[in-house]
Each structure stands twice: as C-alpha cells, then as structure tokens.
Structure 1
C-alpha cells in the first residue's frame, strides 16, 4: 500500500515544479497561446505540465493519471492523479496574478488529497481527507464572522457552460440571484485560487455549476476539509462558511435550480 505521507510530499513537489515554470514565464510576460471566444490555451499550460507529470510518473509508475494536456495514463494501483498545470489561464495570459498549479489524488475514485500553489504570490495549500486544510503549513478553516449581506462569494462554472445557451442562462440566473443576496460576487476564472481563499475564511461562499473535474475535486476537498457547510443539487454545489450563509445562498438559487 502506498504511504499517504509519501503521496502528500510528492503532490507538494508537483505543484511547486509547475509553479516554478509558471512564475518564470509570468515574469517574462510569456502569454503565447491560442485564443478563442470562450477560452485560452497558453503555451505555459503545456510547459508547466511537462515539469509536473514526470514527478508523478517517476514516484508512482503504477498510479493512474489524468493530465489536462497529455491525457490519460492507466495504472494498476487504486490511486488516480488529476493534474491541472495552470488554473486561471485567461488571467495568466492577461497578466493578472490570479492563477495556480494544482493536483488532486483520488483513492478508489474518492477524493483523498489536493494541493495547489500560486506562483505569483508563493502561497501553497494542501487538503487531506480527514486531516483538514493547511495553508503555508498552518491549519485553517472556512470560518468567518461576516454576515450574509456583507459576504463575498465566488461563482464557478465549467468550461462548457458558456458554449451551451441553456446552461449559460441558468448560470447567469444563479449569479444574479447570489448577487442580490450578498455584497459581492466574484466571477471566478481561477476556481482553485478562490477555493483556497474560501478555505481560510477570506471568502464566505462558493457556488459551482457544472464544474470541470480537474478543478472540482480540488475545490470540494478544500471546502469539506475546511469545515464548510455544503449542499448539492445535481450539477449545482454550494459551500458556505456557516449554515446561515448556506441557507441564504440555497434559498436565493431555488427558483433557478
């Protein structure tokens, strides 16, 4: 059986390796890539993954891996890694420092561990099932004493939502409903970054709609292990700093669900 402490150590090394590549390219102003109406695929995505993937493959050659750029690698062990080399590609390409490298590890398809590193600020988070969330090696929680009316909430949608007119209308309705309930809504283009902020009480809520797998596992594990109040209805997932905030967000979106 693979030692979970070893997996944790490797996960930390993986996001640091990807982050180092991104940090250098960000400082060099490297925003080469393919730009479309809905998304950006930067050269930095592939470059960071090329630093991250070999670390996992060398340490655990029998683990399955899904890498955003390279695809799927089969494995015989009960573990599967999900590598997101650059969460927040649009931000990176625009010169905004809100982006991260992240990995998630599942055991028998159950989220077990997540790590993310923000290269521009040097911040690192690690969530481990049953062990909570560490931010810069300090245990943190999603607790906040900010009232619902003064709360800041991040909304997260998957990459395919804007391409589907029905899903896009639903997402717009959800965001509008949340906007009427709290002080500020952040339309997140870097879900793992905002989930990290939520896990240490800097944001008071997360609202996810049809999230992408490489981000969903990280964001939901951070929320759960940070002690957040959570609720799900199919593709809609809401996490909040306390039950009162969760109830308010759930009720606000009831007509849209």
Structure 2
C-alpha cells in the first residue's frame, strides 16, 4: 500500500512542480500582503497535484494549503504544499518546491519534495530512509558550529501575532554561533539539503504544518539529531553537538 502512496506523492509533486517550472520567470500574477504573498501559480500547481492524489486515492483525507480540507476520512491524510517558497517564485529566485506528506495515526509516513529549477527529487518513507534522485542520502556532514550553515524557519503565525522580535533575537543568537544563518523562505528546499548533508542544521520557530511534516520525516530518516526544546521550537542538525549548540543559542 505504501509503495502506491509513495508513487502517487512523487507523481503529484512532479505534476505541480513541472507546471511551476514552465511559469517561472514569466508574468507575475499575485496578491501581496504585509507578511505573505499568494500567486495564481500556487492554485494552478495545487489543482494538478490534487488531480493526481484524488484519482489514485479517493478514500484518503486531503488537506491542501490553498483549498483547505478537500476530503476527510480514511487511514491516511495528505498534506499538500503546491508552492513552498512563493515569495522566491514571484521574485524570480529559483529556491521553491512542491511538497506532499502522508500521515497515519503515528505521524508522517511518506514525504516527497520536488525542486523544479534544479530538478531535485527527494522521497522519504518511515523506516526506509531518504532518497535524492533515487540514491540513498544521509545528514552526515560533520562541521564545527562556528563553520556551520543553518536554516532558520519562522511560521506564518509568528508574523501575525507579534512574535517577530522573538524570532529576530533567535536569528541573531544563531548568527553569533554559526558561520551563516539562512532565513528560509522555502523550508522544503532546505530540508532536502539537510537530508543530503549539504546544510548543517535547521531551526524552526512555530513552523507551518505544510512544510514541517515533510521536514521532520526527512530529518528522522536521514539520521539527523533532533530536539524539541519547547515554545514552538524544533531543531535538527547533522551532529548531536551542533544540535545542542543551536538549542542553547535559541534558548
């Protein structure tokens, strides 16, 4: 059963992602607000992804970022992000992705991320690791904290409820410890980089479910060291020592 679910996740992410690649760099059709942007490309990608998922698994529950709850019931729930990195997409920056996570009663069991411009495909299944373009990968980089590159993720709720000062203080503290802190506008892209050891750590402050389900599955299956220190924080790193340093910095 999970092989079929994984296959559907891959096909859905490719369907949405290839459409995004065709539109990327063209005329921008988007609505901008103080803390967010919604593009027509989000909705178009989501339609293509949902067509694939609903045709293959009409009995599964599906939540999509743009449409909300599309269907309910069944043993599995899909969480679909049709355009992770919309700000990047409309700005002409190539760091964006499509993503799908499939959950059972114990959490995410299958996850897929497709980065259209670089043509990177990441797939994870609980207990079976992470694959990048078909090859098994691991979060195996081992660098000292002072030389580490770390992604920093801030969820939408943080931007809306007055906690941006807290996030800024955390980011500054991380910058004091690590070589570089990347403010991630496309978390799924960076979760893939962590899973293959190209990024050394990820720090998330009240992250959005659409990206976090995939991210936590990737981190677990790639062998990253993780921590949940409370107050909406989630930390993953390629080594336990780096994880501990990042937790200490943000706390």
1:58 paired residue number = 55
Aligned mates of 1:172, 1:210 — CA distance in 2? 13
Aligned mates of 1:137, 1:245 — CA distance in 2? 28
Match of 1:215 among 206, 211, 218: 211
Match of 1:80 among 59, 65, 77: 77
2:10 paired residue number = 12
Q: Could you report, residue by residue, the CA deviation over 1:176-234 in whole angstroms, capped at 9, with x for unpaired residues?
A: 11110000000000000011101111111000000011011011111111100000023
Instruction: Give the secondary structure class of the aligned counterpart of 2:42.
Output: helix
Aligned mates of 1:232, 1:23 — CA distance in 2? 35
Aligned mates of 2:241, 2:169 — CA distance in 1? 22
Aligned mates of 1:65, 1:75 — CA distance in 2? 6
Aligned mates of 1:25, 1:132 — CA distance in 2? 32
Aligned mates of 1:92, 1:42 — CA distance in 2? 9
Match of 2:194 among 198, 221, 230: 198
Contact 1:78–1:107 (8 Å) recurs in 2: yes
Unaligned runs of 5+ in 2: none
Moved over 2 A (4+): 73-76
2:178 paired residue number = 182
Instruction: Give the secondary structure class of the aligned counterpart of 1:239.
Output: strand
Q: CA deviation at 1:253?
A: 1.8
Number of matched pairs: 250
| TM-score, normalising length: structure 1 | 0.95
1:21 paired residue number = 19
Q: CA deviation at 1:125?
A: 0.2
1:71 paired residue number = 68
Q: Could you report, residue by residue, the CA deviation over 1:28-81 in whole angstroms, capped at 9, with x for unpaired residues?
A: x13211011111101100000111101111101010000111220333311000
Residue 159 of structure 2 is aligned to residue 162 of structure 1:
yes
Unaligned runs of 5+ in 1: none
Q: CA deviation at 1:109?
A: 5.3
Instruction: Give the secondary structure class of the aligned counterpart of 2:112.
Output: strand
